[in-house]
Structure 1
């Protein structure tokens, strides 16, 4: 039907083989294999050198930010070799994904055997519906052929096969989003598979009307629907000289009304002022020694400012967001209670704090092999720094 339509040809392009992206060896001053070998050897050599030097610094409690001339040269060589290797091998690897046809593209076969592809927006990807990446509308003559069916309920034969594989256990339910590239379709398939496995209906749980792409990898795994919660508004709240209207999602009666009365009382009394005294999450492990003297030695080591940078590096490697702020210790006989304070970004962060503390304890075990770790949480109270999550 495209043979006589020249206006729709602008939406189609003939599939061409990928351009030859191979590099010419005569473009380099040395033969290609020698150049690659030099940069490979340089890269792994400086990596080994830097790891060896940093390991020695950690053992000798030397701050990592103090570098020698040889270490500085090694860092420069590392970046130079990395840039070369990424530029030489990385470009072809990335372009192999960019230039190959997408699985979501529509293929159209003409009567004469020539193959055409209608391309989608290059920004479009799996679960990217939150962005305005809709393709440019096609002419009416071709829309009837290539119109994308809405992904709502799993009704096709392909969806039916996926549902059966999920029920049989051959396809993990958690991998549907990555496999299908459509979060709503994955939710519908998972929902149907769950109904068949449990024999229970989820008809009362809404499916449509929610953007499942926005929660992918963020706040909910393996969704099967969503629930509606009424949202009330309280305010205005006069805080730090500014007025705020506070939305509250709740099913508890009178909660919004009582909060609104509190906001009104604060408003008529001149408003409230907020002061942030400290922002930190804490964890207090407890260790035991054979003598109180050994416990005191570890206390002095931990509270020595010269050792903080080394301990911070060991602690911070457990997370991109957790950062050690300080350590305070208290001795009770042969027991030493350590309270680690750290920032955790926007998260509550108890898990990242526990991992960081465990890294420090493993590091201390090298210099204090007689240290017996009693618990990762010792329920130590130091003034007002106790964390309610540690009170068992």
Structure 2
């Protein structure tokens, strides 16, 4: 009997309440994992008793409501057999306790959609059951929530069903392994209003093991990203955030940057094309060093050239960073052109790096890094050559420092 973890978990649960608990320490995770292996103890503690006749109601739902025209197909028979005989704790708990008295139980609908979702357009249904609540919720809100019609009603119904779940289901954790393990929430190209984002972030307490948050081309504005940032403390397993081509602006990126310290597992971050300028670039530079696991960063198509030196100082403190995109930063006026050129050179000096054309190996400029140059005129002459090859707005050069490559184009017109 695991009395220590059991008592610790029980005390934590009753003190903070499910599912909006605030404590998620290593001891807490250990307690949940160990208790998950003690099926009898969990079922007894949370009183997850088998609802009378739930198997019959589930079979009727699958054959008559969800698959009315395919109720005799091997797919449906396989689903019924797997869900009624499975030893998957999450599946059993959901089927026995989730909105079984409703006419159209939303979590049962999600279970069926998860089961029949194709691996790809040319592949058959995956025929798998969810092993974590994160998998089920992410898949369900992505499949159904991408459709504008009925999105608000569906989100409301799903959230109500999740709030009614026993605490054991809400915090159930599975050890996730492998480089691509864990679900991703993807809403690419779906226009999300402020109200839509507000509804989405309410699911974050049930997406604790989400690995990716991808909202490219969703027209999310400052208020939307602010709401996302306020709930990021639930998503501490995130490895990818993609906000490509939205309109979060300086205030939005400031709110997001303030939460960087929570994302210790984040490996990829894309903020390209988000109407970010000098103040937003400064906010990123001040906080990005908190992302010690970050490997790829995209900040292109934002006017953040004035923050290049500060960004370079932060990049120097990030040993895992491998790729940074700063393409098409733009400029206004001749004075800014000259100033941006010097900022690029300062960034190279800070990183003790070199400059080469994109997809070429020829070095155009190499910083001596504290070593006294034998010929200052020669060094300055090489830099003038760099400025000349950067005169085209679409010409990209690469600042290389160790394993770090920074792609940058400023459109220097000299």
The TM-score bracket by the shorter chain reads: under 0.3
Higher relative contact order (CA 8 A, sep 6+): 1
How high is the TM-score relative to the length of structure 2? 0.21
TM-score with structure 1 setting the length: 0.22
Rg comparison, structure with higher value: 1
